[in-house]
């Protein structure tokens, strides 16, 4: 992780409460304008981001996985779905499934993913900063800024664009 990435995450930790207030307030913004800005900001930040220098998401936050993810990954690994679930999956009290180890067991020493082609949907969408549902998930988005420097930078830019004291 670069110094700039580290600073973005540290800043997100310090501003967690402020960020929560801002993200709860974005629901009141013009949806079309907000989403267009979000998408543009996401693209600009990720055009400069190198996730392989960080991989903090894989090191700290296990993704939610679905039955479809399990079938796809188990097939790729040439093992049964049942064996994959036994060896790699944990189910929480709500019935949500995630990988059972942190850091991810598929993360390699060079920060690449050994199952990248078949990775869980949640991994391919992470940090969810280009999704229309962004405004509906303030808690998730704040948590992502504490893990992902790109998510933190996107939120900082959104605040510069949309911050209003009455949000």
Q: Please report how many Cα atoms fall inside a 13 Å half-sphere around the Cα of residue 122, on the Cβ side.
A: 18
Cβ pair 158, 138 in contact under 8 A: no
> How much is the pTM?
0.89
- For the chain, strand residue ranges (E) read 64-65, 89-91, 97-99
Residue 68: pLDDT above 50? yes
Neighbours of 149 (CB within 10 A): 26
Rounded Cα distance between 86 and 92, Å, is 14
Residue 30: pLDDT above 90? no
């Amino acid at each position: 992780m670069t110094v700039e990435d580290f600073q973005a995450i540290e800043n997100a930790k310090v501003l967690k409460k402020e960020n929560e207030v801002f993200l709860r307030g974005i629901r009141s913004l013009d949806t079309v304008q907000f989403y267009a800005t979000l998408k543009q900001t996401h693209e600009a930040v990720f055009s400069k981001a190198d996730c392989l220098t960080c991989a903090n998401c894989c090191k700290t936050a296990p993704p939610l996985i679905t039955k479809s993810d399990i079938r796809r990954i188990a097939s790729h690994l040439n093992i049964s779905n049942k064996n994959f679930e036994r060896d790699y999956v944990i189910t929480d009290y709500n019935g949500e499934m995630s990988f059972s180890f942190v850091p991810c067991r598929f993360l390699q020493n060079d920060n690449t993913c050994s199952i990248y082609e078949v990775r869980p949907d949640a991994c391919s969408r992470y940090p969810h900063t280009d999704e229309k549902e962004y405004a509906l998930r303030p808690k998730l988005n704040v948590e992502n800024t504490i893990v992902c420097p790109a998510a933190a930078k996107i939120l900082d830019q959104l605040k510069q664009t949309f911050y209003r004291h009455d949000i």
